[in-house]
Amino acid sequence: MRTRPLESAAILGLLLLAVLPPISAQSAPEWESEVSISVPAVTTAGEGVLSRLTVRVVRPGSGKVYFSADPLTQLDTQSAARTAALVACSLLGLNPNEFDFYVSMESDSMVIGGPSAGAAMTVAMVAALANLTLDGSVVMTGMVNPDGTVGPVGGIPAKLTAAAEGGAKLFLIPAGQEVVVENRVIEEPGPFWITRRVVRERVNVTELGMSLGVSVKSVMTIREAVEASTGWRIPLKEVEEVSLDPDVAAVITGWTNAYLAEYDSARREVLLNLSRLPEGPIKEYLKQKVETAKLEAEKAKELDSTGRPYSAASAAFRSAVAIDTARLVLEMALADDPTKPLLSHALELNQSIQKVESSLEATEPESSTSFEALVAAWQRLYDAMEAFEKATDLFKSGDLVSSAEWLVYANWRVRTARSWAGLCLPGGPPPDRSVILSVAATMLYEAESVVGYAASLLQDVGESSALLDHAMDRLALAKEAQQDGRHYAVIGLSAEAIAYSTLAIHGAFQTTDLRRLVDAVSKETLGRLARIMETGVRPVTALSYLEAAEVAREEGDLPSALLLYELSATYANIDVLVSLGEGAELAPPKAAPRPTQPSASPQPTQPAHEETPIWVALTISLASAAAGGAVGFILGRRSHQTDGTLDSAELDQIESCSSP
């Protein structure tokens, strides 16, 4: 008997159901954990209220963070959830790509959105990932910063009152906000109307808590908040030995010696020809350059003698850039046409960029050390290309001195890219290509999250920051590099974007003493380094930045120290991701058209009057350079004592070009 088609389909369906597992079993995660906590918020009417925050973490995942809110909240709350997931995984030494995070926030009232639940989200995620029990009598408020510190928030008195009414016994607040200033409306009745005026009052949060029966505790880091909320201290090991590997230190010392040798040669040439110039602004400018170069050279020798190889190389680098700038500007001043030596220098530089670029394209790491070196080389090459483009634009605008400064810096950046690429010392095996692709994708995702978070925070308070602008530029370059398949460049550029965004947040929202902040960040950095060094890996880039941070801290330059600690921690996190990602599979992205390369040479603009004297043109250019701050940028890291505050304008003066 023939079976009808419909019956055949039914029989086939029954057979498939018999051999296949249930759909629910297929989609169920291998592991999941969920926690809920109360978080304080402020309603649109200005009153405190407790919302319910639930965090569910599942594995396997792909690093995605899903956020829902009822009522809807602002974008920076959603950005805070992404940052919270990254920080929680970093603190626990976990790969965020192995998990997915589901965050929901519910409130009975319309609350003001913002990042103030970020720290609580992070604590909840740590609890979920580590299977910890949260103390329901503990309530906290605070932003989460990408480096694991807790940032300031508003509305603390109202939130504390709501927490007390909800039965809280301990209220955690960001360090530095023990006393806050709040606006209070005072009503004064009159014969025919009521006058309302706003007064600003200082509120001692600790005393307010005592009156409400709640203990108030300030926390600097998420690590402290986790301990207060769960009773469990996240292990934090410190590095006993933070010096670079002797073989690496020897290579970097060789860089220092080479830079100083070129400084000596260029200095003799400049001093020999400086007397040919008449007194005036150009000659004074050159004298300042010579003096700056001398001071940096002396500093390099001193640091080298005290066993600080990377810091010594950084000072020697700044010395070489300063004296080489003086040599080029002097050559321009003595030439019949100052544009000719500038154009010649630009042409040679463009050829060097293309040559190093081709070399890096053909280079693959042979060890874990050369992997780090290749990341550093690509990052510095992108710096050189960007500096070359700035020099081109300045030349076209007629600012010859600033153009010369950027060309010299670009030239030395190319040289350091070549030096890092040649750092092929023995080490552990290099990461598999699949791991490199995975780490590049993760770092780019983190950079997008952190830069977006910083941008939303600063936009909320109407702040602008050159640090954030720099981070956005790095992120844009990282995206271009990803499209072009340059994964080592993606890693380095993303790391820089993360560090600068984090610093921008600190500059805009710092409420605690800068020394205390630097101390907290340094401890977190050392903890990350200890974690990776336990695996037998001896980081190169992270330890280099750590050494430079310690030197800056000793000199009292706390803003620069903070930036260098952030860079060290970010590069240590790269090493952690590489260690955790062995065996990961990730398809390489499709190649996209390469970004436009710098033109062969800047095209000069026609002067308004051909008979304009060279001295006048260079003097005008010099004034423009001083006004634009380019001279200070090229000179490198500042060296001065810093008080206990972190001024955003001061932070924006931190240069990214102070190290090789």
Verdict on whether the full-model pTM lies above 0.85: no
Name every residue whose Cβ is closer than 8 Å to that of residue 199 and which is 6 or more positions away in sequence.
Answer: 183, 184, 186
Low-confidence ranges of the chain (pLDDT < 70): 1-27, 71-76, 109-114, 183-186, 190-192, 195-199, 239-241, 426-427, 581-658
- With beta carbons less than 8 A apart as the criterion, state whether 103 and 68 touch: yes
Residue 475 burial by Cβ neighbours in a 10 Å radius (0-12, 13-18, 19+): buried
Closest CA to 131 of 167, 171, 173, 94: 94
Beta-carbon-side half-sphere exposure of residue 436 (alpha carbons within 13 Å) = 24
DSSP letter, residue 591: P
Supply angle C-alpha 341, 343, 346, rounded to 5.
110
Closest CA to 58 of 98, 105, 104: 98
Supply angle C-alpha 391, 394, 397, rounded to 5.
155
147-201 pLDDT, tens digit per residue, is 999 988 888 999 999 999 999 999 999 998 998 877 666 677 766 677 666 667 8
**Residue-level pLDDT at 114:** 66
Read off the amino acid at residue 193: W
Name every residue whose Cβ is closer than 8 Å to that of residue 180 and which is 6 or more positions away in sequence.
Answer: 156, 157, 202, 203, 205
Q: Coil, helix or strand for 653? A: coil
Q: Tokens 């709640």 correspond to what residue?
A: 214
Supply angle C-alpha 235, 137, 102, rounded to 5.
65
**Residue-level pLDDT at 70:** 75
Q: Does domain 32-230 have CATH number 3.30.230.10?
A: yes
- Cα–Cα distance between 659 and 318 in angstroms, integer? 7
Sign of the CA dihedral with 163 first, then 91, 239, and 370 last: negative
Helix (H) or strand (E) holding 32, with range, is: strand 31-42
Closest CA to 389 of 273, 456, 477, 301: 477
C-alpha to C-alpha distances, 349 to 324, 342, 354, 359, 601, nearest whole angstrom: 14, 10, 9, 15, 9
C-alpha to C-alpha distances, 591 to 361, 480, 594, 595, nearest whole angstrom: 14, 10, 8, 11
**Residue-level pLDDT at 595:** 32
**Residue-level pLDDT at 63:** 87
Closest CA to 526 of 509, 518, 659, 450: 518
**What distance, in Å, lies between the first and last C-alpha atoms of the chain?**
84
Residue 620 sits at φ, ψ, to 5 deg, of: -60, -40
**Residue-level pLDDT at 586:** 32
Closest CA to 118 of 126, 107, 129: 126
Q: Residue ranges of the domains in the chain?
A: 32-230
Closest CA to 97 of 589, 581, 582: 581
| Residues linked to residue 52 through DSSP beta bridges, in sequence order | 38, 106
Residue 643 burial (CB count, 10 A)? 12
Tokens of 506: 């600190």
C-alpha to C-alpha distances, 521 to 142, 151, 499, 558, 631, nearest whole angstrom: 17, 13, 12, 12, 30
- Cα–Cα distance between 549 and 568 in angstroms, integer? 8
**Residue-level pLDDT at 182:** 73
Q: Coil, helix or strand for 192? A: coil
Q: Determine the longest span between alpha carbons in the chain, in angstroms.
A: 113
- With beta carbons less than 8 A apart as the criterion, state whether 112 and 51 touch: no
To the nearest 10 degrees (0 to 180), the angle between helices 368-396 and 400-421 is 170
To the nearest 10 degrees (0 to 180), the angle between helices 309-334 and 400-421 is 140
